[in-house]
Amino acid sequence: MIDKAKLFATKAHCGQKRKNADEDYIVHPVRVAETLKQAGFHDVLICAGYLHDVAEDTAYTLDDIEKEFGFDVRQLVAAHTEDKSKAWQERKQQTIHTVHEASFDVKSLIVADKLDNLESLQKEIQTHGNEVWKKFNAGYDWQKWYNQSIAEAMTNGLRSEQIPHYFKRYKQLVKQTFD
């Protein structure tokens, strides 16, 4: 099932490039899935890692994901999928709320995604400096608010022994990038 999800995501994101980098988009879901795999998560969540942006950013739908991978994968991807018809701040506020209230699996998926985004951003800042912020729909201040809010919400309801190592890495990167 994991190999099938990787192939499906590769096909779905074919021809897409990352926003701030000249790399194929598929490298992002691959890194998200790898983060989840390294943290010891189950196959359903790893599949969702590969597929997390498919319904949001490609022609494929949540129904397509359910047909190919089942209801559980669909639910994880759906919990992570933003409604692009809403304004940026409204979408991000919903994601923050989701992270605060969601199941451990949903939190883990979203934080793995945000970690990879922030690691990519760090590389871009090292290469291009503060010019990077001009490429965003919402600049530095809004990105700071969003990432700090995710970092604050991500451990809500979790016991300290449940928190994956990469949550701590995300929190460190948020501090490094925005403080």
Domain that holds residue 96: 2-178
56 is catalytic: yes
The DSSP code sequence of the chain is -HHHHHHHHHHHTTT-B-SSSSSBTTHHHHHHHHHHHHTT--HHHHHHHHHTTHHHHSS--HHHHHHHH-HHHHHHHHHH---TTS-HHHHHHHHHHHHHHS-HHHHHHHHHHHHHHHHHHHHHHHHHGGGGGGGSSS-HHHHHHHHHHHHHHTTTT--GGGS-HHHHHHHHHHHHHH-
From 34, 57, 124, 152, the catalytic residue: 57
Number of domains, the chain:
1
Domain with residue 151: its CATH number is 1.10.3210.10
pLDDT at residue 20, rounded to an integer: 64
57 is catalytic: yes
Query: What does the pLDDT profile of the chain (179 residues) look like in tens digits?
Result: 999 999 999 999 999 988 766 789 999 999 999 999 999 999 999 999 999 999 999 999 999 999 999 999 999 999 999 998 999 999 999 999 999 999 999 999 999 999 999 999 999 888 888 888 888 878 899 999 999 999 999 999 999 999 999 999 999 999 999 98
From 34, 56, 119, 152, the catalytic residue: 56
pLDDT at residue 21, rounded to an integer: 66
pLDDT at residue 23, rounded to an integer: 86
